[in-house]
């Protein structure tokens, strides 16, 4: 029996968690990030999904979420604090010059990441006051 047959439910679960993280749907549940990263590790080791793809996707998700000023500060900060974990996995998978260069780019992005203040709820209101 191929591992690909069992991949779909885990992949769909992992993708749903990524949407929850990226949209900040449950910003008071930090265990969601750990669960997401654990599910990614399972996909990388036990299915046909390539480990580099999992690690890169996880890193980009956490960094993109951290820099989204529309999300709560504490959620963004938590995502930034956890971005080193998939970055570490990418470094371990950097066995060729092209991947090493990509890893270095990602490491530089993480090192240079600056969290800007979160936009206030009143600034998020669309339209003008003349409406």
Give the model confidence (pLDDT) of 84-124 as tens digits.
999 999 999 999 999 999 999 999 999 999 999 988 766 65
At residue 5 the predicted structure's pLDDT band, cuts being 50, 70 and 90, is: very low
Task: Using the structure block, give the residue that is written with the tokens 């371990």.
Answer: 92
Q: Give 25's pLDDT tier (boundaries 50, 70, 90).
A: very high
Domain membership of residue 119 (yes or no) is: no
Residue 122 inside a domain? The answer is no
Q: Residue 38's closest CA among 8, 13, 5, 60?
A: 13
127 belongs to a structural domain: no
pTM: 0.86
* CA-based nearest residue to 72, from 29, 42, 105: 29
**Tell me: the pLDDT tens digits for 31-62?**
999 999 999 999 999 988 999 999 999 999 99
d(CA 98, CA 94): 8
**Is residue 106 domain-resident?**
yes
Enclosing domain of residue 53: 3-114
18 found inside a domain: yes
Burial class of 62 by CB neighbour count within 10 A (0 to 12, 13 to 18, 19+): buried
In sign, the C-alpha dihedral spanning 5, 10, 16, 21 is negative
Q: What span, in angstroms and rounded, lies between the C-alpha atoms of 119 and 76?
A: 12
Which pLDDT score is estimated for 3? 46
Q: List the alpha helices (DSSP H) in 24-72.
A: 31-46, 51-66
Domain count, the chain: 1
């Amino acid at each position: 029996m191929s591992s690909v047959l069992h991949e779909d439910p885990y992949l769909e679960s992992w993708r749903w968690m990524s949407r929850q993280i990226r949209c900040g749907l449950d910003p008071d549940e930090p265990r969601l990030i750990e669960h997401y990263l654990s599910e990614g590790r399972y996909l990388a080791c036990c299915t046909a999904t390539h480990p580099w793809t999992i690690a890169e996707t996880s890193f980009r998700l956490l960094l993109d979420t951290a820099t989204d000023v529309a999300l709560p500060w504490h959620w963004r900060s938590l995502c930034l604090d956890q971005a080193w974990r998939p970055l570490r996995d990418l470094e371990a998978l950097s066995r060729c010059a092209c991947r090493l260069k990509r890893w270095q780019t990602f490491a530089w992005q993480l090192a240079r990441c600056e969290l800007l203040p979160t936009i206030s709820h009143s600034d998020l209101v669309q339209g003008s006051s003349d409406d």
